[in-house]
Chain A
Amino acid sequence: MKYASQRVAYPFFIAAMALFLGQVLFGLVAGAIYFWPNFMAEIMPFHIVRMSHTNLLLVWLLIGFFGATYYLLPEEAETEIYSPKLAYLQLAIFVFAGAAALVSYQFGIHEGREFLEQPTWIKLLLTISFLMFLFNASMTLKKGRRTAISVVLLMGLWLAAIFWLFAFYNPSNLSLDKMYWWYVVHLWVEGVWGLIMASLLAYLLIRMTGVDREIIEKWLYVIVGLVLFSGLLGTGHHYYWIGTPGYWKPIGSFFSALEVLPLFTMVIFAFYMFWRGSRNHPNKSAVLWTLGCTVTAFFGAGVWGFMHTLSAVNYYSHGTQITAAHGHLAFYGAYVMLNLSIMAYALPQLRGKQPYNQILNMWSFWLMTGGMAFMTFTLTFAGIIQTHMQRVIGEQYMATQDYLQLFFGMRLGAGVVVCIGALLYVYAMLGPAREQLPAGPAHVAVGATS
């Protein structure tokens, strides 16, 4: 850690991990309700549990992105953060807003569009905090060196904030509402968040592989180009059945099928750079998370996304457990693992230690990733049965669900494993640091400073 103000990232990461634990806990409760439908039906109905689960996810991912930005920006710009105080204030507002939303949900106070349930005043607070962050980061970049990584990262974050503004537009026409709702949801996760993901990966790869910046940044531009060329018109795969024109079927099918390309390129990028790089970075768990992130994102977002993205397939699978399966592995692979990679890389340096608790950290990787994969498989099987019974044969929804109980039980089991993995991760990162270095020459470990 070369710059003192990189420390700003530390409380961001702690807050992100705390909310992450909350997210998986609500996920566990939701999974339990699927298996025991009467569980907590009176005190905490399913819709409250679900909005808590999804909102915590979004809030902690964003806090993680903020922290990652504050961590890497001084190194990239070769200057201190413009205002650490502003960063702490911005974090406090964001965490307060997220917590206020969570508490208000438990009292039935919420708005009613999926993922955008925050009451308006909370949305405003989130916006203010986001703008404070952008101001702080942009001012830092302005006074320092501009690299492709920092420019693409900030571009992704600025665009995310701009598209977020559509959260304030809620027309009475349901079809219009849905079309612009995707401006936030799709253009975030399959659009501009891809810029954030690719630039953070590029940063990690420069640091951990030692490959020339020139080469890494070229790959970065190619990847983010593929992300937006496919992802912008790929929005069309949400415009098949909501009252939008028929031309979205060919356009959405074609471009969203291409969304696999940037995800696959990221896998090649990460593995090729590690193969090509000369550095033997001692933080093996961060290497594992980084490589795992690209692979899981490729399967979760790429393969599972492609599986039901063509309009002829989506006609039958739209809005079934297949969507749930894809949503879980895509978010986990692309954005959860990305944040966990950055934290696994940065926390030893923020705590001023050599990489620690490596074995424990790798256990958490395999438990969480294995659990999420199993969850995705069970939901996919459930979704196939549901699609056949309900969409082909025409059996009623509730009758169909009875056939899926076995899979919901296995999904709950997978959720327990994920929760254990998440707890282990947080313990490995924040708990007492024990030296766990891989066997190898001593000089390898000494090179841990970068």
Chain B
Amino acid sequence: MIESLSRNAARNIFFGGSLFFFAIFIGLTAHSHFYIVNESTDKEGLTASVARGKQVWEEHSCINCHTILGEGAYFAPELGNVWKRYGGEQSPEGARMALKTWIRMQPTGIEGRRQMPAFDISDEDLDALIDFLEWTSRIDTQGWPPTIAG
């Protein structure tokens, strides 16, 4: 098959085909952008505190141990649904307290258990971080993860 194809024909197929698929890709991501902003994520709920929480998440590079929506390192639990796992949907105050206490307790120092470092996070920032995790738990993820374990 390749014998009958000339180099120039192969080149034209490459350039033409790539442009074609790139155009489709751009079109679909443009639609996905619109879909994310208006459908799958909580537009009104994306408060200044949630945005600040995302910054706190990044400042401490949580993603280099944890996953969020399955992306990140695989060294520590998934946090995209941690709000639900801690029962935030039934008892928001209880979940917030539990999460804050857990983060403040680190490192546990338990021998043979993976250690989360102690992070110096103000109370306000910690609340923002938890707002961010709560907001994230409400993203429409097509039903992922399969179990509450994340």
**Chain A residues near B (Cβ < 8 Å):** 33-34, 37-38, 41-42, 45-48, 50-51, 110-114, 117, 148, 172-179, 214, 217-219, 221-222, 224-225, 228-229, 232-233, 235-236, 239-249, 251, 315-316, 318-321, 323-324, 390-398, 400-401
Contacts and interface: CB of A to CB of B under 8 A. Distances in A.
B121 interface: no
Contacts of B11: 148, 221
A41 B149 CA distance: 25
B58 interface: yes
Contacts of B149: 390-391, 394-397, 400
A392 B69 contact: no
**Secondary structure type dominating chain A contacts:** helix
A242 B29 CA distance: 13
Contacts of B62: 47, 112
Contacts, number: 211
Given A45-B115, A173-B36, A229 B7 contact: no
Interface string B97-138: 000000000010001111101000000000000001001100
Interface of B: 2, 5-7, 10-11, 13-14, 17-18, 21-22, 24-25, 28-29, 31-33, 35-37, 39-41, 46, 50-51, 54, 57-65, 67-78, 107, 111-115, 117, 132, 135-136, 139-150
Contacts of B51: 172
A51 B13 CA distance: 39
Given A38-B112, A221-B7, A233-B25, A248 B32 contact: yes
Contacts of A225: 10, 13-14, 17-18
B75 A34 contact: yes
B80 to A, nearest CB: 9
B33 A174 contact: no
A217 B7 CA distance: 7
Given A34-B75, A172-B54, A110 B147 contact: no
13 contacts: A34-B75, A45-B115, A45-B117, A112-B60, A148-B7, A174-B69, A228-B18, A243-B140, A245-B35, A390-B149, A391-B145, A391-B149, A393-B147
